[in-house]
Amino acid sequence: MYAILTPDSELRKVIETGTQAASNLCWACGTCDNECPINLASNRLSPRKIVRMASMGLLDELLSIPEIWYCLTCQRCLDVCPNGVKPAEVIRFIREESLRRQIVKWETLQDYEKLFGRFQRVRWHATVRCIQGELDAVTDDQWYAWLDTPVELPGTKITPKASADRTVYFRQMADSNITLCLTCSECTNCCPVFHERSVFDPQATIRMVNLGLTEELLHSPSIWLCIDCGRCSKACTQTVKARELIGRLRQMAIDGGYVSPRLPYQLKKAEKLLYPRLLDEIDACFGFSSGRILLSDIA
Ligand code: SF4
Ligand code: SF4
Ligand code: SF4
């Protein structure tokens, strides 16, 4: 189904004022689409098309498309745009407008946020499967069991080993600055995949390395949940680089034989199974009907 859409320059100005982003600078290069993790895994979210709609002033249409709620807020699209256009800011603005105009109710927003938290459990359980071998399919039973099964924190008391070799190594690495961490949790607060500490928490990861608990991290599925967006490293006032630290931990896990070198590839494959299901759950959460305008309808 294709819809006839009428550009509106006044509404374009409303969006530009609300986002402080000049969507008309977009030259439709598609770099944002190629970096968007949701788009790569599902082909169902195009930040480029959202910017295109914003530049046409299609505010009402933007308020009615489910894609606005598919975004992880990772800001990769914003970081990679060569023209300084901010697709993630357009999405933020449209979400806020949806709430302000009561198109979306607070209760729905709460359900949506809970869904994202439960989805990180799914990613954790799927990562365990990938570490153990391939994950070729996710059945309905598995999906709902993983959504509803919290990840348990290890019950045993962990003894700090602050002089462990790997901690000394990380302390000497100028590119992660872990010793400067004040445990303020700014990294955790801005991390788009942090929802439950037992699943994944960048600040806890830094703390564990500082306490010499690298070995525990190398065994943990959690370090594979980071989506490498870099928001934590940008947000840290102490210049601690959680993203770079997690990248090194992953490489150590591969080099040390804790996981297969094929794991990153297996996880990418798993994302293509998991994200489309998440988007279906989001559609159900907001009650989007099949008669809606899709981004694919916008030229
Ligand atoms: S990266 Fe920037 S210029 Fe390229 S399509 Fe996306 S918003 Fe437009
Ligand atoms: S913020 Fe991330 S998930 Fe959202 S549109 Fe941009 S790249 Fe995609
Ligand atoms: S790079 Fe940082 S903010 Fe982004 S997912 Fe990883 S830990 Fe979270």
Q: Which atom of ligand 1 is nearest to the CA of 31?
A: 1
CA of 3 to the centre of ligand 3 (A): 38
Q: Is 99 in the pocket of ligand 1 (CB under 6 A)?
A: no
Predicted pLDDT of residue 120: 97
Predicted pLDDT of residue 169: 74
Claim to verify: residue 89 and residue 177 sit in the same structural domain:
no
Residue 110 lies in a domain: no
CA of 166 to the centre of ligand 1 (A): 41
Predicted pLDDT of residue 16: 87
Q: How far apart are CA 10 and CA 232, in angstroms?
A: 36
The sign of the CA dihedral 15, 18, 19, 25 is positive
Residue 34 lies in a domain: yes
Identify the residue whose C-alpha is closest to ligand 2 atom 4. 71
Claim to verify: residue 221 and residue 282 sit in the same structural domain:
no
Claim to verify: residue 72 and residue 97 sit in the same structural domain:
yes
Residue 267 lies in a domain: no
Claim to verify: residue 158 and residue 247 sit in the same structural domain:
yes
State mean pLDDT over 98-102. Answer: 95
Encode the chain in three state secondary structure.
CCCCCCCCHHHHHHHHHHHCCCHHHCCCCCHHHHHCHHHHHHCCCCHHHHHHHHHCCCHHHHHHCHHHHCCCCCCHHHHHCCCCCCHHHHHHHHHHHHHHCCCCCHHHHHHHHHHHHHHHHHHHHHHHHHHHCCCCCCCHHHHHHHHHCCCCCCCCCCCCCCCCHHHHHHHHCCCCCHHHCCCCCHHHHHCCCCCCCCCCCHHHHHHHHHCCCHHHHHHCHHHHCCCCCCHHHHHCCCCCCHHHHHHHHHHHHHHCCCCCCCHHHHHHHHHHHHHHHHHHHHHHHHCCCCCCCCHHHCC
CA of 266 to the centre of ligand 3 (A): 20
Query: Could you report the per-residue pLDDT of 109-141, keeping only the tens digit for each?
Result: 999 999 999 999 999 999 999 999 889 999 999
Q: Is 74 in the pocket of ligand 2 (CB under 6 A)?
A: yes
Claim to verify: residue 158 and residue 84 sit in the same structural domain:
no
| CATH number of residue 287's parent domain | 1.10.1060.10
Claim to verify: residue 257 and residue 293 sit in the same structural domain:
no
Claim to verify: residue 286 and residue 234 sit in the same structural domain:
no
**Contact (Cβ atoms closer than 8 angstroms) between residue 72 and residue 37:** yes
Residue 4 lies in a domain: no
Query: Could you report the per-residue pLDDT of 214-229, keeping only the tens digit for each?
Result: 989 999 999 999 999 9
pLDDT band at 10 (very low <50, low <70, confident <90, very high): confident
pLDDT band at 156 (very low <50, low <70, confident <90, very high): low
Mutate to test the pocket of ligand 3, among 228, 244, 245 (most ligand atoms within 8 A of CB): 228
CA of 52 to the centre of ligand 1 (A): 9
Q: Is 229 in the pocket of ligand 3 (CB under 6 A)?
A: yes
CA of 203 to the centre of ligand 2 (A): 22
The total number of residues shown for the chain amounts to 299
Claim to verify: residue 250 and residue 165 sit in the same structural domain:
yes
pLDDT band at 89 (very low <50, low <70, confident <90, very high): very high
Claim to verify: residue 163 and residue 194 sit in the same structural domain:
yes
Residue 164 lies in a domain: yes
Predicted pLDDT of residue 153: 76
The rounded mean pLDDT for the chain is: 90
Claim to verify: residue 32 and residue 83 sit in the same structural domain:
yes
Q: How far apart are CA 245 and CA 123, in angstroms?
A: 20
Query: Could you report the per-residue pLDDT of 235-291, keeping only the tens digit for each?
Result: 999 999 999 999 999 999 999 999 999 999 999 999 999 999 999 999 999 988 654
Ligand nearest to the CA of 123: 3
Residue span of the structural domain in which 173 resides: 153-261
Predicted pLDDT of residue 291: 46
| CATH number of residue 226's parent domain | 1.10.1060
Query: Number of structural domains, the chain?
Result: 2
Mutate to test the pocket of ligand 3, among 119, 190, 232, 241 (most ligand atoms within 8 A of CB): 232
Residue 134 lies in a domain: no
State mean pLDDT over 186-206. Answer: 95
Claim to verify: residue 257 and residue 282 sit in the same structural domain:
no
Q: 174 pLDDT exceeds 70?
A: no
